[in-house]
Chain A
Amino acid sequence: MQLNDFYISVGGNYETVLARLQSEQIIQKFLLRFLKDQTYNDLKKAVDAKDAPAAFLATHTLKGTAANLGLDTLASDASALTELLRGATEFPDGISTAEVDKSYYAAIKSIAMLEA
């Protein structure tokens, strides 16, 4: 899969990512590197532990990395979750990571396909 197609599939814009990061190699490299990033796992752990501040931090980081790599859908889902968790000391009821889960798995699936 070409990067261009990849970004269409994950809801992003290759042109802008390229403009920012200026190198196809780097984009490719770090997309693959994203597969090993632990942030998503941190988020899941924090949510399981109902640790609101930790969940916020993880979501925030996930949003940042996803945005950096142009994974716009994931970034925006993570951003939405970030806002729900911002400033919370108690884990808010009814918070769901479903959207983030969905877009995260969509992203890594596409990245995996990219690798292939």
Chain B
Amino acid sequence: MEFLITVGTGSLLSVFNMAKIIIPLMIFMEIAKKYKILDRIGMLFKPVTNLFNMGEKSGLLLVIGLVFGLSYGAGAIIQHTEEEQVPKKDLILMMSFLSLCHAVPEDTLLFIEIGAKWYYLLGSRLFAAIIFTFFLSRTKKFRNDLQVEIE
């Protein structure tokens, strides 16, 4: 009986703790979508996309994936490629970055909630994604846009 009570309260508490993070986060994201806050953040990403030798529009796509997650980011990227040609190398760079680092607010907050140190978590994710994407963009194959143009 005691066991049931411990397990019951423990699991309900963990759901409550997740709800406490997820619901406000979703509200914030809906507001961000409505007022196109991401477009503005995307502009701020220009130095980052320059660093990776990527097209200007990629900044917004990266921000969408970083904030909303991989499925949402991939969806936005696919939609964008239907509207205009995106070099294959940009797609590989974007997906490499987003593979390592996506859905940052949600994941980070949920891990903090159970006791992770956020600066290590956020720091290593951003560091790994930026460093890897940067070096990939400087490899021989990626330096020349024309070589890896979409077939």
Are A and B genuine complex partners? Answer: no
